[in-house]
Structure 1
Amino acid sequence: MTTPVVEVRDLRKAYGAAPSAPGSGEGPGVHGVSFAVTPGEIFGILGPNGAGKTTTVECLAGLRDTDGGALMVLGVDPQTHPERVREDLGIQLQESHLHDKITVEEALRLYAAFYSDPADVEELLTLLDLQDKRRTQFAKLSGGQKQRLSIALALVGRPKVAILDELTTGLDPAARRATWDLVERVRATGVTILLVTHFMDEAERLCDRLVIIDRGRVVATGTPGELIDRLDDARAVRLRVAPDARRRALAALTPLVGTPDVAAVETDGDEIEVRGTRRVLFAVVPALAAADVVPDDVRTVSRTLEDVFVAVTGRAYDPDAAPGATDPDLSLTNTMDGADR
Structure 2
Amino acid sequence: MDTIDVIPGSRSAREILSHSRTLVDPGLRAAVDTLPPPTRHIAGYHFGWWDENAEPAEHKAGKAIRPALVLLCARAVGSSDIEALPAAVAVELVHNFSLVHDDVIDRDVTRRHRPTAWSVFGDGAAILAGDAMSTLACAVLADSGHPAAMDGIKLVNRAIQELIDGQHADVSFETREQIDPQECRAMAAAKTGALLGCACAIGARFGGGSPHQVERLRAFGTDLGLAFQHVDDLLGIWGDPQATGKPVYSDLRSRKKSLPVVAALASDSPAAAALSSLYSGTEPLRDEEITRAAALIEEAGGRQWSSTEAAGLLDRALASLAEVGAEESAASDLTTLARLVTRRDR
What TM-score, normalized to structure 2? 0.25
Higher helix share: 2
Structure-1-length-normalised TM-score: 0.25
Larger Rg: 1 or 2? 1
